[in-house]
Structure 1
Amino acid sequence: MLVSRGSRAAITMACAALLLATSACGSDKPEGATTTTQVRLYGSDGNMLNSFAAELKERADLVNGMKGTTPLTPLPESFTGRLRTVDPKLTDYLYSAETYDAVVVSALAAQLAGSTDAAAIAKQIVGVTTGGERCDGPAACLQLAAQGRDIEYRGVSLTRAGFTDAGEPATASYATLHFDDQKLDDGKTEFVGAGDESAASSKTPPRGKKQRRSATPLILGGLLPQTGDLAIANPPMAAGAALAVKEVNAAGGVLGKPVVWVDGDDGTNPDVAKATVASHIAKGVQVFIGAGASGISRAVLPDVVAAGRVLFSPSNTDAGLTTVDDKGLYFRTAPSDILQGRALADVILRDGPHKIAIVARKDSYGEGLQGNVRADLERAGIGADKVKLLTYEPPADADAAPVDFTAGAKEIKDFGPDAVLIIGFGESAHVITALADAGVQIQH
């Protein structure tokens, strides 16, 4: 179900009021009685995936009862079915729609620009999503673009509004997800709308050019997390990209030539990502689809910008990227964590916690979302003494030792929260096992 911004605010205020009232009324337990507080676990887009349970191996049952949010639009079966023709083993669809739309928007921008030059493509990207003739799907939109007509693409993730001037979605949809029996229970999933349609750009893009043929094809370079901490999210993104390229080419390609896809790994590691960027540049890639993690995009963006290419991420949510110095060459189909922070705070407040610990991986994504959630809890009336913030260093690469959260888990146990939010990727499974090993009673 979609909930309006006003309804969401009302829910938040009601939850906060209930929380404060409960705290003020005291307890009917006899003085001196002790109880063991059960802790409810919450997660975010980096770990609310079916594949996350496997990261806990034989202790996968620890995720049962965990809930959280992720940017996700209700996906039609027509889309997920087509994704499964690309990858029959798919169990998650996180960021598949955003990846699909990033590829399609890039193709439409090149067609309207009448060029595969990255700078010309960049100038059309925002305009492809706003203010023109409404169309959905590569075939219909490419046909209009080939006629030089201004279009307003509506795809799978871009359904309500287009991009802002900064090159990111003005609106978003979030799903509240629940783990049950070591997998996400689709029957409990709720969808909440966020953002403001009036924030979409009203600027007029350069005039589109009518059908012409290009001497060089549009070359897209994958910069997705095939390895590293975020590799659990790679399959749906890879499938989304492959499906988009397939359908764009089935519709005639771009400027008379098939779109070329060059595979590439960001490794959830700056060094791996930088090496991939250098390789892609040498192969003539004009648009990079990635990186997966916000911190990796921050690391490679200077290299991409220096080469005059476009970086278009389907999954970066760090709010700070909205104002990053990108020379107009960075875009994303994933919404800012300012929006996810509100959605996560709402989910936590509905359960009426008294004390909350927020654990985050120590990078721009983790600390950024942690700060946004904290700010929204504060606005709902949750005092600073009721919230504990902790971070952990994620492993440098796949060969590094796993996260050791032993000390942090003891701090949390001593703090005595009844809610713990864990913001991380696959490595955050070690935070959960550390909590259990420290004697924190996880509510299932």
Structure 2
Amino acid sequence: MLGNRTSRAALSTACAVLLLATSACGSDEPKDAGTTQVRLYGTDGNMQNSFAAELKDRASLVNGMKGTTPLTPLPESFKERLRNVDPKLNDFLYAAESYDAVVISALATQLAGTTAPREIAQQIVGVTAGGQRCDEVAACLQLARAGQDLEYRGVSLTRAGFTDTGEPATASYGTLHFDNQQLDDGKTEFVGAGEESGASSKAPPRGRKARGKAKDAPLVMGGLLPKTGDLALAYPPMAAAVTLALNEINAAGGVLGEPVKFIEGDDGTNPAVAKATVAAHVGQGVSIIIGAGASGISRAVLPDVVAAGRILFSPSNTDAGLSAVDDKGLYFRTAPPDSLQGRALADVMLRDGPRKIVLLARKDSYGEGLQENVRAELEKAGVGADRLKLLTYTPPADPKTPVDFTGIAQEIKSFGPEAVLVIGFGESARAITALADAGVQIRS
């Protein structure tokens, strides 16, 4: 995959240079030079089947929309196991990352021999790098119970382990295409990013052999996932994956001699809701909190989590700035940082050869962070700053109060771009309808 990524990057750079003088590399001249026509692009927050439903009777507007998301080719057996948990599941965004976050947490706890969060945290990176490789929950738990150093390779974590900061050293991205109001799996391509050499080489503390039930068992985990709010459309696959991991861990004998206990919790895609959930989890003895869904929510609650001495382990945070956050060694994620996704997304856009591009993003750490990464990658490929327009919008505090994109849509139309990247969650569907209402022709 890395070789494929390199060749695409070279092609993208060449295309960007040629764009100044020609319409080569995949983009035709608009049929009507006086009419604004754009291609739509999206990101992991809106590139899923459930996003089309957000446009209701105007769902056809997403036809032709392209984008990227952290995505590994998922084994059919994994998808089937997820459907056994939730038969209605039709998206798998962050399912693999959610599954692996729970499994890694369980293995680290078993090796630590205690449910004390700080001791578990010292084992998490080591579980993914070095030691005897394993990829099945039961086999990995057996190694952990023997106190043996192991290297977990799961559904999302396939090429390399975590960096010293507790996040994937490598990533796989899927380039997705909407067709007939749903993602066309037949057009999905996978692109690798990152370097295996970035994985940690530090030895974790020696694992403890299991000697019956630990005195502080059971391990209690808590959810901090977006059951409600702007990111609620991503909740079903994440919740199904967490349940699947817990079922398989407990079927294999649990952790520290007892079944793992899980307490559900909502982050609401809202700092106030998330903080209340964290406080409740702390009061109920939760050691590891799985979440939050959005990067901005994790930033908001992390000080509370750290002050309580608990672990925050997100399957979906991509804000690159979180790599350097002051977490006292208690924050981890299975989702790769947007410094990697920015390259993949810029590559997808440049293949279509746009000469003028708008980057529209949520005004939060996720949106502005990814916007900046994409901007930097486009400029590196030769797209001049005068051909880029960066816009942001403030997400609503209450999902019942939608964002008014009318002014932004007019500003985009006046700029006359050939491509619009929308970095947002479910609320960003209104940006697309606003563009259409403003008279912007969206290419399918």
With the length of structure 2 as denominator, give the TM-score of the two structures. 0.97
2:380 alignment partner in structure 1: 379
Question: Could you tell me how far 1:34 is from its partner in structure 2?
Answer: 4.1
Q: 2 CA distance for matches of 1:429 and 1:441?
A: 16
For 1:342, what is the secondary structure of its paired residue?
Answer: helix
Question: Could you tell me how far 1:2 is from its partner in structure 2?
Answer: 6.7
Letter in 2 for 1:242: T
Q: 2 CA distance for matches of 1:367 and 1:331?
A: 21
Letter in 2 for 1:343: A
2:59 alignment partner in structure 1: 60
Matched, 1:149 2:127: no
Matched, 1:133 2:132: yes
1:441 alignment partner in structure 2: 441
Letter in 2 for 1:219: V
2:360 alignment partner in structure 1: 359
Alignment map for 1:395-434 (pairs within 5 Å): 395-399=396-400, 401-434=401-434
For 1:103, what is the secondary structure of its paired residue?
Answer: helix
Matched, 1:313 2:331: no
Note if contact 1:4-1:194 (Cα within 8 Å) is conserved in structure 2: no
Question: Could you tell me how far 1:10 is from its partner in structure 2?
Answer: 1.6
- 1:343-386 superposed Cα distances (whole Å, 9 cap, x missing partner): 00000000000100010010000000000000000000000010
Letter in 1 for 2:128: T
Note if contact 2:23-2:353 (Cα within 8 Å) is conserved in structure 1: no
Task: Let me know the Cα RMSD of the aligned residues.
Answer: 1.5
Question: Could you tell me how far 1:406 is from its partner in structure 2?
Answer: 0.6
2:240 alignment partner in structure 1: 239
Q: 2 CA distance for matches of 1:198 and 1:57?
A: 46
1:349 alignment partner in structure 2: 350
Matched, 1:266 2:233: no
Alignment map for 1:111-130 (pairs within 5 Å): 111-130=110-129
1:71 alignment partner in structure 2: 70
Note if contact 1:227-1:268 (Cα within 8 Å) is conserved in structure 2: yes
Letter in 2 for 1:172: A
Note if contact 1:69-1:176 (Cα within 8 Å) is conserved in structure 2: yes
Note if contact 1:218-1:286 (Cα within 8 Å) is conserved in structure 2: yes
With the length of structure 1 as denominator, give the TM-score of the two structures. 0.97
Q: 2 CA distance for matches of 1:34 and 1:143?
A: 66
Note if contact 2:228-2:267 (Cα within 8 Å) is conserved in structure 1: yes
Question: Could you tell me how far 1:19 is from its partner in structure 2?
Answer: 2.0
For 1:8, what is the secondary structure of its paired residue?
Answer: helix
1:290 alignment partner in structure 2: 291
Question: Could you tell me how far 1:137 is from its partner in structure 2?
Answer: 1.6
Question: Could you tell me how far 1:23 is from its partner in structure 2?
Answer: 6.3
For 1:20, what is the secondary structure of its paired residue?
Answer: coil
- 1:115-164 superposed Cα distances (whole Å, 9 cap, x missing partner): 11100100000000001100002101000011011000000000000000
Q: 2 CA distance for matches of 1:9 and 1:242?
A: 38
Q: 1 CA distance for matches of 2:342 and 2:274?
A: 27
Q: 1 CA distance for matches of 2:65 and 2:278?
A: 37
For 1:73, what is the secondary structure of its paired residue?
Answer: coil
- 1:139-193 superposed Cα distances (whole Å, 9 cap, x missing partner): 0100001101100000000000000000000000000000001000000000000
Note if contact 2:36-2:413 (Cα within 8 Å) is conserved in structure 1: no
Note if contact 1:130-1:153 (Cα within 8 Å) is conserved in structure 2: yes
Aligned residue pairs total 438
For 2:55, what is the secondary structure of its paired residue?
Answer: helix
Note if contact 2:2-2:193 (Cα within 8 Å) is conserved in structure 1: no
Alignment map for 1:325-340 (pairs within 5 Å): 325-340=326-341
- 1:7-42 superposed Cα distances (whole Å, 9 cap, x missing partner): 232232232233234169xxx99xxx8432320000
Taking only the aligned residue pairs, the percentage that are identical comes to 76
Q: 1 CA distance for matches of 2:234 and 2:82?
A: 15
Q: 2 CA distance for matches of 1:35 and 1:352?
A: 19
1:280 alignment partner in structure 2: 281
User: Which stretch shifts more, 80-89 or 204-213?
Assistant: 204-213
For 1:288, what is the secondary structure of its paired residue?
Answer: strand
Letter in 2 for 1:423: I
Question: Could you tell me how far 1:90 is from its partner in structure 2?
Answer: 0.3
1:227 alignment partner in structure 2: 228
Letter in 2 for 1:136: D
Q: 2 CA distance for matches of 1:4 and 1:132?
A: 30
